[in-house]
Amino acid sequence: MNLGGGAVNCVRDSLGDWSRTARLKRKLDKAVALSSQMKLTDYFVILNNIEMLEKKNKKLITMIHYLSHNDSESGQSSLTPILKQILANSQSNAEKLPKQRWHPTVLKKFSTALLIYSGPLAYEFIQQNMPEALPSLRTVQNIIHSEYNTMHEGVFQFDGLLQHIKVHKSSTCVSIGEDATRIISRVEYDPQTNRCVGFVLPIGENGLPVFNSFLAVSFSAIETMFKSATIAKYAYVYMAQPLTINVPPFCLCCMGTDNKFTYEEVLKRWKYIVTECAVRGINVVSFGGDGDSRLMKAMRIATTLSESDTREVLEDDTINIPSSHLLKCPIIPKEWKSWFHLKPTTVAFVQDTVHIAVKLKSRLLKPSVVLTLGQYVAGGHHLRMLQLLFGKDQHGLREREMLATKISKTLML
């Protein structure tokens, strides 16, 4: 049916604004009017019943106190449901101006966690609907920036690691792990350092990234960056785990990379990490990886696993530790030395066995690769022969394991 312009104007006037915000508001108003719509106050009855149960059961109160964190600054018990605290805070700030509103520490911590897990857009949407109950987005961001140290790309936070150990009263022995993860490739401007972040930092002669790179000094310099530099595709992270129970790990360094580096650079970084940690009284017990071929070669060379690796080791690439910071090496009896190929060192090297097994499986099943095991060779055809000559109860192989490119930890074990 064809409607004239006057009819369309009448419909527009009756409905009001046709913008997306207005249509969403009308939809929410209709949802609120429905009898089946749940409200926050519907849960108060359940919470009151839980409080009554707490008063009758002393063991339950002790357990909840143990699992929760009491906040002395807020003046409210952490056992109080968060919904009631939000409602009470909204009622106390209802008649105050935005600059006069006050929020307890518990809600500030809740807002911080909400912003981290949901993101700024979702948090701003929730806060705009409850302006008296929750602090503004800028307030929460200022709390995060004031309580957390800013990490600059390519800079190792050794002093931060030492402070982290002191705060948690942890052991000075740490284990270093490194890995790369895929990220969205884009470039952003950092006003604190006047740098363009997102490019692959150049690597110096010492194997470390050059921090003072890609300075935004002029428009021509920025244009040159985008023409000549490479945008990072991966985030390479170094994590330090103190060897004490229930102590969280510490992010030692993070930098963008295109996943193009050599084992020599890995050895030089390890030497730098061990030396700088030893100066601060921190003992690096081990380095860990996820089966990366460059990390495995660096570990093989550092441990002199074979004669060819021993010849490749250069004096500048060996991981030396000051004698004052050496850990005690295990003493191996002379009659046992024939059983140990590696020399006991102060730094151990660890690889994820699942990743190594997956790499071995991929090479074993690849038709063009033949694995040499001493005087013997092994290939995928040997597994096929096992499937043909023996029953599944003897070889235990399944067809999907022979074809899968990715395998879980359970299947590999």
pLDDT of 356 reads 78
| CA-based end-to-end distance of the chain | 68
Give CA angle at 185 (184, 188), nearest 5°: 105
What pTM was estimated for this model as a whole? 0.62
Does residue 311 sit in the same domain as residue 363? Answer: no
| Domain end residue (candidates: 146, 168, 199) | 146
Q: Please indicate, yes or no, if residue 244 is contained in any of the structural domains.
A: yes
Does residue 378 sit in the same domain as residue 245? Answer: no
Phi, psi of 346 (to 5 degrees): -85, -15
As for how many domains the chain has, the answer is 3
Q: Please indicate, yes or no, if residue 390 is contained in any of the structural domains.
A: yes
Q: Please indicate, yes or no, if residue 32 is contained in any of the structural domains.
A: no
**Which of the 8 DSSP states describes residue 328?**
P
Q: Cβ distance 266 to 293 under 8 Å? A: no
> For the chain, how are helix, strand and coil distributed in percent, rounded to 5?
50, 15, 40
Does residue 112 sit in the same domain as residue 249? Answer: no
Does residue 321 sit in the same domain as residue 404? Answer: no
Q: Helix or strand or coil: residue 180?
A: strand
Which long-range contacts link 185-188 to residues 24+ away (Cβ below 8 Å)? 185/231, 185/232, 185/233, 186/231, 187/225, 187/226, 187/231
Does residue 367 sit in the same domain as residue 381? Answer: yes
Across the 413 residues of the chain, what is the mean pLDDT of every consecutive 10-residue run?
A: 48 61 82 74 69 67 60 47 84 84 88 88 88 88 80 89 92 91 89 88 88 88 90 93 91 91 90 91 88 85 65 49 45 63 68 79 81 82 84 78 56 49
pLDDT of 1 reads 44
Q: Please indicate, yes or no, if residue 72 is contained in any of the structural domains.
A: yes
Q: Please indicate, yes or no, if residue 397 is contained in any of the structural domains.
A: yes
Does residue 301 sit in the same domain as residue 250? Answer: yes
Alpha helices in 188-343 (DSSP H): 219-228, 263-279, 293-302, 307-312
Does residue 257 sit in the same domain as residue 362? Answer: no
Side-chain half-sphere of 57: how many Cα atoms within 13 Å? Answer: 12
Does residue 65 sit in the same domain as residue 186? Answer: no
Report which of 266, 290, 268, 274 is spatially closest to residue 356, judged by C-alpha positions.
290
pLDDT of 28 reads 80
Q: Please indicate, yes or no, if residue 29 is contained in any of the structural domains.
A: no
| Domain end residue (candidates: 124, 146, 168) | 146
Q: Please indicate, yes or no, if residue 389 is contained in any of the structural domains.
A: yes
Does residue 122 sit in the same domain as residue 204? Answer: no
Does residue 204 sit in the same domain as residue 292? Answer: yes
Structural domain harbouring 130: 40-146
pLDDT of 273 reads 92
**Calpha distance 237→27 (Å, rounded):** 45
Side-chain half-sphere of 136: how many Cα atoms within 13 Å? Answer: 7
Q: Please indicate, yes or no, if residue 192 is contained in any of the structural domains.
A: yes
Does residue 301 sit in the same domain as residue 341? Answer: yes
Strands (E), 354-409: 371-373, 376-378
Does residue 206 sit in the same domain as residue 345? Answer: yes
| Domain end residue (candidates: 299, 321, 351) | 351
